[in-house]
Amino acid sequence: MAYKLLLQLLASYSLFLFMAIASSSVFHYLNVTAPTGRMQKWIHYAWPPVIGVVAILGLANYYVYIGFGTQQDLYRRGNDSFMAVSFTFDDGPSPIYTEAILDVLNQYGITATFFLVGTHAEHFPETVGRILAEGHELGNHTYSHIMVSQVSARMLRDQIERTNRVIQEITGELPKYIRPPRGLYDRRLKALAQEYEQPIVLWSLSAQDWRPKATASSIAARVLSKVSPGDIILFHDSGALFRNTGASRQATVDALPLIIEGLHEKGFRILPLPQLLFPHDALPPSTE
C-alpha cells in the first residue's frame, strides 16, 4: 500500500514541476523576462510555491481523513473493491440488547465484531461468552468508556489492560482490536495497540442509533442511503453508559432486519471484519 503514498507524492511533485514550467513559459511567451511591477513579481514568483503548498495541504488533508493505507495499525474502512460491508457494535455487552442482536445475526447468518466496555463485560460474562461462541469477534472499547485524550498515560494503559484481562478471563483469548470511544485516538493509544497487536479499528459509516429520536426506520434509512462498498458500519448494542444510563437500543435491534435485507437487495454482502480488511488472507465466500 506504500505505493499509493509514493504515487500521491509523485503526482503532487509533477504537478508542482508542471506549474513551475508552465508559469515560466507563459511569462517567457508574454516577454515578461524580468518582472518589474510589484504585482507582476508576486505572480511570477508566487505561483509555483502556492500550488505546491496547496498540493501539500491537500495531501495532508487526505492523509488525516482517509489515509494512504500505510497505517497498518489503524483501519477506518475495508476493501472497497467488492460489494461488501461489515457490522460492528459498541458499548456492550448488554444482557437485553446484545442478546437480541445476536438472535437477529444468527437468523441471517451474519458474523459481526463487538467492541466491549470492560466493566460491562465484567457484569455480563455470559453474554460475552455467547458472542464468541456464536463465531463473532471481540474488540476492546476501554474499561469505563473514557475519552482517550482526557486521561493520563497510566490510566489509559490501565483502561486497555484491564479490559484485555477481563475479556481474557472470560473467553481465554484477547480481544482482536481496539476501538477508542468516539473514535478519538492518540499516539499513546497507537503505541498500546502495537504492543498488544490489537489494531485500532474505527468506522466509515455510523448508524447514529444513539440519537434519542432514532427509530428503526430512520436508522435503516440512514444506513441504506449512505452505504458504500468497504464500509465498516457502527451500531450500539448497549445504552448503559455512565452519562446515559440504560438508554434503549431496541431501535437498533428492530433496524437490523431492515438493514440486512436492504443491503442484500442492493447486492451487498455482510462479511466478518477480517474478510473486509484483509481480503487477500481471507477470501470472501461466494454468494449462495
* Footprint of Zn ion (CB under 5 A): 90-91, 181
At closest approach, how far in Å is the CB of 245 from Zn ion?
14
| CB closer to Zn ion, 90 vs 122 | 90
Known catalytic residue: 90?
Answer: yes
Is the backbone of residue 81 left (phi > 0), alpha (psi -120 to 50) or beta?
alpha
| CB closer to Zn ion, 51 vs 101 | 101
At closest approach, how far in Å is the CB of 240 from Zn ion?
11
At closest approach, how far in Å is the CB of 210 from Zn ion?
8
Known catalytic residue: 236?
Answer: yes
Nearest partner of 273 among 184, 194, 176, 171, judged by Cα: 176
Catalytic residue, from 44, 90, 120, 141: name it.
Answer: 90
* CB closest to Zn ion, residue no: 90
C-beta separation of 134 from 109 below 8 A: no
Q: How far apart (Å, rounded) are the C-alpha atoms in residues 118 and 140?
A: 7
Which residues, 6+ apart, have CB-to-CB distance to 175 below 8 Å? Answer: 116, 138, 139, 140, 163, 164, 167, 198
Q: From the CA atom positions of the chain, what is the Rg in Å?
A: 24
At closest approach, how far in Å is the CB of 117 from Zn ion?
7
Q: How far apart (Å, rounded) are the C-alpha atoms in residues 229 and 234?
A: 15
Can you read off the three cell numbers belonging to residue 182? Answer: 468516539
| CB closer to Zn ion, 44 vs 141 | 141
At closest approach, how far in Å is the CB of 171 from Zn ion?
20
SS3 per residue for 146-204: CCHHHCCHHHHHHHHHHHHHHHHHHHCCCCCEECCHHHCCCHHHHHHHHHCCCCEECCC
Q: Three-state DSSP class for 136?
A: coil
Catalytic residue, from 91, 145, 236, 237: name it.
Answer: 236
| CB closer to Zn ion, 90 vs 209 | 90
Q: Three-state DSSP class for 112?
A: coil
| CB closer to Zn ion, 159 vs 275 | 159
Known catalytic residues are: 90, 236
